Chain A
Amino acid sequence: MRRLLAVVPLLLVGAAMPPAAVAADLAHREVLPNGARLLVAPRPAIPIVVVRVYVRAGSAFDPAGAPGLANITADLLTRGTASRTGPELDRAIEFVGGSLDAETGRDGTALTLAVLRKDLDLGLDLLADALLRPTFPEDELKRKAADIEAAIRRSDENPEAVGGRALARLLYPGHPYAHPVVGTVDSVAKITREQVVAFHRARYRPDATVIAAVGDVALDDIRGALARRVAGWTAPSTPDETIPMAPASPPVVAETISRELTQATVYLGRPAVRQGHPDYFPLLVANYILGGGSTSRLYTRVREDAGLAYSVGSALSPGRYGAAATVSLQTRVDAVGQALGLVRAEMTSIGKGPVGERELSLAKAYLIGSFPLRLDTTAKVAETLTAIEENGLGLDYPDRFKDAVARVTLADVERVAARYLDPSTFSSVIVGK
Chain B
Amino acid sequence: MRRPPIAAALLTLASVSPSAAPAIAAPAQVAEATLDNGLKVLILEDHRSPIVSVQVWYRVGSRNELPGATGLAHFLEHLMFKGTPTHGKGEFSRQVEQSGGHDNAFTTQDVTSYYANLAADKLELALALEADRMRNLLLDAKEIDSERQVVMEERRTRTEDDPDGLVSEEMMSLAFKAHPYRWPVIGWMEDIRRIAPTELRAFYDRYYRPNNAILVVVGDVSAEVALGHARRLFGGIARGPEPPAVAAIEPPQIDERRLIVKKVGAQVPIVNVSWHVPTFRSADAPALELLSTILSEGRASRLYRKLTYERRLALGAGGDYSYFSLDPNLFWLYAMPLPGQTPEALEAALLAEIELVKQELIPAEEIERAKNQIEAGFVWGHDSVHSRGATLARFELLGSWRLADGYVPLIRAVTAEDLQRVARTYFLADRKNTAILLPADAPVAR
Q: Which residues of A contact B (CB under 8 A)?
A: 1-4, 6, 8, 10, 12-15, 18, 21, 43, 45-48, 50, 52, 54, 86-87, 90-91, 94-99, 101-108, 110, 112, 114-116, 143, 146-147, 149-151, 153-157, 159, 259-263, 293-295, 300, 303-311, 315, 317, 319, 330-332, 362, 365-366, 368-373, 375-380, 383, 386-387
Contacts and interface: CB of A to CB of B under 8 A. Distances in A.
Contact of A97 (B5, B98, B99, B377): B377
B6 to A, nearest CB: 6
Interface in B42-97: 48-51, 81, 89-90, 93-94, 97
Contact of A146 (B8, B338, B372): B338
B51 A310 contact: no
Contacts of B146: 304-307
Contact of A112 (B16, B309, B318, B320): B16
B376 interface: yes
Nearest to B375: A97
B239 interface: no
Given A97-B375, A97-B377, A90 B300 contact: yes
Sort A-B residue pairs by CB-CB distance and give the 3 closest, nearest first. A369-B100, A97-B376, A307-B149
Given A96-B376, A110-B13, A317-B10, 7 more contacts: A3-B164, A10-B10, A13-B8, A96-B372, A143-B309, A261-B161, A263-B161
A377 B334 contact: no
Contact of B157 (A114, A156, A311, A369): A311
Contacts of B49: 21, 372, 375-376
A308 B368 CA distance: 50
B358 interface: no
A373 B156 contact: no
Nearest to A54: B11
Nearest to B89: A304
Given A97-B18, A156-B267, A370 B100 contact: yes
A262 B145 contact: no
Contacts of A6: 5, 8
B295 to A, nearest CB: 13
Given A147-B308, A311-B4, A262 B160 contact: yes
Interface string B176-210: 00000000000000000000000000000000000
Contacts of A96: 372, 376
A376 to B, nearest CB: 5
Contacts of B101: 369-370, 373
Contacts of A97: 18-19, 372-377
A87 B300 contact: yes
Contacts of B26: none
Nearest to B90: A295
A383 B90 contact: no
A312 to B, nearest CB: 9
A52 B13 CA distance: 11
A330 B13 contact: no
Interface string B119-138: 10000000000000000000
